[in-house]
Amino acid sequence: MALTFGDNIHTKTFTPQEYLVEVLSSAKNKNVIISLEGITNKVFVILKLIRELAFKIHRKSEKRKWTLLVLEETEIDQYMFSIKHLTDLKPLVIRSINHLDFNNYEVIVTTENQCLEIFEKKYLHFDQLNLAIFNNCQKIIVKNSTLF
């Protein structure tokens, strides 16, 4: 039975563009560097990728894994809001490395400076990650970057 109010809805407003679905599929299957224009496309791909790979981080054992999301300071609040409201995962923002406790969280959100410090001081190791996302990774190679 067709609903009369649904006849005039344009389906493109509710579905992602085809290339975003292809990008998401590639990112799930192998390590890729994705260059996307616009915050909406970035948020879509990042959230879908986190949700698709979340089954690997719901373990409560010593082999537990986390998702790492490295952002610019100005983007953290927007992504935190999206992760909290559009996934069933609990994100943790790290602005300081004092008293870190990852155990009650699945997604670690931080800046490049804090990320570098977390790995240098061995609070986290790359083998403990199921997914690492570096937003605007092209800026990491800039000479004034802490990761250069």
Q: Is the pLDDT of residue 24 over 80?
A: yes
Torsion angles phi and psi, residue 92, rounded to 5: -125, 125
Whether residue 10 lies inside any domain: the answer is no
- Which amino acid is it at 115? C
How confident is the model at residue 42, as a pLDDT?
85
Is 11 among the domain residues? no
Segment 45-58 shows an average pLDDT of 82
Count of domains forming the chain = 1
Asked whether the predicted pLDDT for residue 139 surpasses 80, the reply is: no
8 inside domain:
no
In terms of residue numbers, what domain contains 129?
A: 18-139
Please report whether residue 85 resides in a domain.
yes
- Output the pLDDT for position 32: 81
Contact 87, 118 (CB under 8 A): no
At 59 the three-state DSSP class reads coil
Confidence (pLDDT) at 1: 43
- In tens, the pLDDT along 71-93 reads 989 999 999 999 999 998 999 99
Q: Which amino acid is at 90?
A: K
Return the exposure string of 18-49: e unless at least 16 CB atoms fall within 10 Å of the residue's CB, then b: eebeebbeebeeeeeebebeeeebbbbbbbbb
What is the mean pLDDT of the segment spanning 5-31? 71
Q: How much of the chain, in percent, has pLDDT values that exceed 70?
A: 78
Q: Is residue 146 part of a domain?
A: no
Q: Taking the CB of residue 101, how many other CB atoms lie within 10 A of it?
A: 7
pTM, two decimals, is 0.77
Query: CATH number for the domain including 28?
Result: 3.40.50.300
pLDDT band, very low/low/confident/very high, at 118 (cuts 50, 70, 90): very high
What gap in Å lies between CA 141 and CA 148, rounded to an integer? 5
